[in-house]
């Protein structure tokens, strides 16, 4: 199969929060210098967090919008299999418009088939979490119930919002009111989160509908049937494409550790269904998994075999701002786990690696890497099963650290410290695919492409 030139897909290669947004921003910026570029996101919703940092030091955490939204000449697409919360999206658009020098930001298109994620979903998720443990891996953003609506054959989509099908919206409210009443609570009185922080009541059916009508009026100009337009852009090889996945392979509902999984397809396979077959991910030239270089991080109840329980974890957490972009939860810190990364590379169909956080390094600490698991006397590979992971013993290799200042000054591979080069060779050899790029700091220009 012939690969489509100027096409990239970026996913999280571990458990999320690897710095995908910054990589997408950099790629879109480069492609936009050569011609038009489309940035397409196909999964997740307001549970995602992609942080972009500007030269001024200003940091913006994007949630539903792809990272390329700040780049003039790009078109960012919120695809069919995203779950979109209208209120949060309007707040996010307002925040983007407040960033300096974004008067000429990207054009935004929303697929009319994108799924609605509403306050009803958030309320139901909260009630379910109170009732039993089935929601304890959630972010509280109503993602799972919104996806469940699709499987149960009664989803609301963006076109139902902009053409405002009041009968469908009313039926939706009544269904969730009945479900929540069955769990002993009153939907109208429940409070749910907003993007900016303050909680609001879901309200009565009339209040809920009126709020959605106002949001529909504001979002309507961005919503369209994009199928034919997308096919035209994909067939035009002068147009660059960057596909931005939300979350990470280690959070996929099939490949993650329960209950800390998301409800969407976090692998590149999701691009095929979201674009209704327009884009075959096998044709995408670069399918990169982004991982943190010198450590891993995780949010949730999962217990990683390589979890750090030391002052080093606190040091990394503070220096690298290891708090969830969406939830603000402090992340667990672990040593780099190559058996897990090998598994995610295989099931995620990743063909190259991007390593961020190469600058998170300490002269007084070696770089400790898990290269294998032992189960008794047997060497075993990673499995996404907490009971299995509880019983494995990590086998570690220690490598010397490198000079962070020399790393930051490097412009190409052979200028990197020898210790950093040896580390990169080990990672590539153990996972079985090449390293395409590393980052040497938080700014867009602080990176080296090999």
Please give the positions annotated as active site: 17, 50
User: With contact defined as beta carbons under 8 Å apart, do 444 and 22 qualify?
Assistant: yes
Distance CA 348, CA 10 (A): 11
Distance CA 183, CA 175 (A): 13
Distance CA 365, CA 294 (A): 11
Distance CA 14, CA 413 (A): 24
Own/partner contacts of 151-155, CB < 8 Å, gap of 24 or more, are 155/115, 155/116
Distance CA 356, CA 29 (A): 18
DSSP 288: E
Residue showing tokens 């995908």: 20
Give the end-to-end CA distance of the chain in Å, rounded to a whole number.
25
Q: Is 325 left (phi over 0), alpha (psi -120 to 50) or beta?
A: alpha
Return the bridge partners of 312, or none.
none
Return the bridge partners of 397, or none.
369
């Amino acid at each position: 199969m012939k690969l489509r030139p100027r096409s990239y897909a970026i996913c999280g290669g571990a458990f999320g929060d690897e710095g995908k947004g910054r990589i997408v921003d950099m790629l879109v910026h480069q492609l936009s210098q050569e011609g038009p570029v489309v940035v397409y996101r196909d999964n997740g919703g307001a549970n995602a967090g992609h942080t972009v940092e500007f030269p001024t030091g200003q940091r913006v955490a994007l949630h539903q919008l792809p990272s390329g939204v700040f780049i003039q000449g790009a078109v960012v697409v919120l695809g069919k299999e995203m779950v979109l919360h209208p209120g949060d999206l309007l707040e996010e658009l307002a925040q983007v418009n407040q960033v300096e020098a974004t008067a000429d930001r990207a054009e935004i298109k929303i697929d009319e088939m994108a799924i609605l994620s509403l306050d009803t979903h958030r309320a139901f998720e909260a009630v379910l979490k109170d009732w039993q443990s089935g929601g304890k891996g959630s972010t509280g953003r109503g993602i799972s119930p919104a996806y469940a609506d699709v499987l149960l054959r009664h989803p609301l989509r963006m076109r139902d919002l902009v053409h405002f099908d009041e009968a469908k919206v009313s039926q939706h409210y009544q269904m969730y009111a009945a479900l929540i009443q069955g769990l002993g609570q009153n939907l109208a009185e429940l409070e749910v989160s907003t993007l900016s922080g303050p909680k609001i009541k879901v309200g009565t059916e009339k209040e809920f509908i009126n709020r959605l009508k106002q949001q529909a009026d504001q979002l309507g100009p961005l919503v369209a049937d994009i199928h034919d337009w997308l096919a035209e852009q994909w067939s035009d090889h002068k147009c660059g494409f960057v596909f931005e996945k939300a979350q990470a392979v280690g959070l996929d509902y099939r490949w993650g550790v329960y209950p800390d999984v998301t409800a969407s397809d976090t692998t590149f396979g999701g691009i095929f269904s979201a674009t209704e077959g327009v884009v075959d991910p096998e044709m995408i030239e670069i399918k990169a998994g982004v991982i943190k270089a010198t450590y891993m991080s995780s949010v949730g109840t999962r217990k990683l075999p390589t979890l750090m329980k030391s002052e080093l974890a606190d040091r990394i957490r503070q220096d690298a701002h290891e708090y969830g972009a969406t939830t603000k939860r402090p992340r667990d810190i672990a040593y780099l786990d190559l058996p897990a990364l090998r598994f995610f590379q295989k099931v995620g169909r990743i063909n190259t690696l991007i390593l961020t956080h190469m600058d998170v390094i300490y002269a007084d600490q070696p770089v400790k890497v898990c290269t294998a698991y032992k189960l008794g006397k047997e060497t075993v590979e990673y499995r996404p099963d907490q009971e299995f992971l509880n019983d494995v013993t990590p086998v570690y290799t220690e490598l010397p650290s490198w000079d962070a200042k020399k790393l930051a000054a490097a412009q190409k591979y052979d200028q990197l410290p020898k210790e950093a080069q040896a580390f990169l060779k080990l990672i590539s050899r153990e996972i079985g695919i090449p390293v395409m790029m590393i980052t040497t700091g938080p700014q867009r220009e602080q990176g080296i492409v090999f």
